[in-house]
Amino acid sequence: MNVPLLLFLSALASLGARAFSKLCSDMVVGHSKARYTLFYAVNGIVSCIFFLVADGFRVALNLPTFIYSLVFAILVAASLFVSLWLLKLATISGVNILSSAFGLVLTSAMGFLAFSEEPTPIKLIRIALMVIAAAFVFIDEGRINGKTDGKKRGLRALLPLFFAVTLSAVISCLVTLVTKLYVTSDAVASENSFFFWTNVLLVLGSALFFVLMCLKSRTAFRDSMSLLHPKKLISLAGNTLCSNAGSLIAILLVAQMELSVYTPVSSAIGIIVAVIASLIFRERLGLFSYLAAAVACGAMII
């Protein structure tokens, strides 16, 4: 399958995931950690079913596949905990955008250093454009939602936030590295098997944490059970299926593209899709969001 078609399908999967995510956005926001953990457990179960079916109920497992799946699951779990940490540290709009921009630079640098990709002027310009686009998104979200929670923050207070953003970017870089190493290895099983076993491990971990949290609080258990309402499960499943389709497409793209090309292009698709989704749901956008989308389009065209 050629790269332009895969990029188009990636954009469609991302748009679908955002649409379903909008429908189930209130599932975990403002609720207990137990409910948040159950959300990821259910998400993992749906993902396991998806990848099992996608592989024709013939998922394979060998030692290299298990090791890659274990490392990937640890990175995904670490990313979740860092996200929760960021939410505790500050209510700064667009902080995840900054993490993505930093991760973009790190991943591209890794492509140059670890995979001997040539740092051509076009690649460097594309990366620079995406950093500018991320900055525009951050500025726009800050103008609309407020850059901070209204509290003055000294240097000491900002250091944990800077560390968390940096850690989030490093984890994002490592996720891409593991994916790249997996698809270039001849010793592993199929991509579906890789994602299937990753989600099996995530489900087991999430289920364990959920049980421990519920043993401490019956209220947390009752609050979490409302997540299993059929209408909410449909929205959650739709979001998960679109995200999983996007993961399969991403791994095909990583196999065919250099990291220093794939990372900024995929980031550009993310920004463009975010603007399109906001327009569909009639969300308020500022001038800088449109500028970010325009810069992202430019990065893709070159």
pLDDT of 30-73, one tens digit each?
556 787 788 889 889 999 999 999 988 889 999 999 999 999 99
What helix, strand, coil percent values describe the chain, rounded to 5? 80, 0, 20
**Mean pLDDT (the chain, rounded):** 83
Q: Is residue 200 predicted with pLDDT exceeding 70?
A: yes
pLDDT of residue 158: 60
Q: How confident is the model at residue 122 (pLDDT cuts 50, 70, 90)?
A: very high
As a whole number of angstroms, the distance between CA 286 and CA 278 comes to 11
What is the pLDDT averaged over residues 118-144?
A: 84
Using pLDDT thresholds of 50, 70 and 90, give the confidence band for residue 156. low
Q: Rg for the chain (alpha carbons), in Å?
A: 19
Does the structure show a pLDDT above 90 at 169?
A: no
> Confidence class of residue 90 from pLDDT cuts 50, 70 and 90?
low
Does residue 236 register a pLDDT over 50? yes
Residue 157: what pLDDT? 56
Segment 288-301 mean pLDDT: 89
Q: What residues does each domain of the chain span?
A: 31-230+259-301
- pLDDT surpassing 70 at residue 255: yes
pLDDT above 70: residue 277: yes
d(CA 56, CA 71): 25
DSSP secondary structure letters along 32-67 = -HHHHHHHHHHHHHHHHHHHHHHTTT-----HHHHH
pTM of the model: 0.82
Residues 6+ apart with CB under 8 A from 247: 195
Residue 141's Cβ-side half-sphere holds a number of Cα atoms within 13 Å equal to: 20
Instruction: Supply the pLDDT for residue 147.
Output: 46
